[in-house]
Structure 1
């Protein structure tokens, strides 16, 4: 399953966040595959798209950074996946 993960940190957390990122690369646990990650310029925030078979790895990753950032995460669908769900919903409504 794919997830959209967003984070935001306070300016006071910038230096500790930089140090941890440079040390670890911000890599997720082995059971989470990062499909892409983007960082906002001039803010301590960003977004990642990840894939995981369950939420345990996602929880582990968020907890590793939870002292520096506030996180939101939500399941995500591609256009094709959403299209299939919409088509099934329309067919069931007929």
Structure 2
């Protein structure tokens, strides 16, 4: 399943977040595939689209940063996945 991972930090943590990112690359664990990541210039924040079979793997990743950043994790569907769900819904509704 795909997830939208958003993060935000206060300006006071910016230098610590930069140092950790430069040291680790903020790579997700093996069982989480990062499809894309974007950063908000001038802020401590951004968004990533990831894929994982289990949200607990994403929790493990975000907990490594929870001392600096707060996270929002939202399930996400592609157009094709949503279209299939909508078609099934319409078929069931008759």
User: Normalised by the size of structure 2, how large is the TM-score?
Assistant: 0.97
Equivalent residue for 1:68?
68
* Post-superposition offset of 1:42: 1.1
Alignment RMSD? 0.6
User: Normalised by the size of structure 1, how large is the TM-score?
Assistant: 0.97
| 2:28 aligned with 1:28 | yes
Equivalent residue for 2:54?
54
* Post-superposition offset of 1:55: 1.4
Structure 1: gaps spanning 5 or more residues: none
Following the alignment from structure 1 to structure 2, what is the Cα–Cα distance between the partners of residues 81 and 53?
Answer: 15
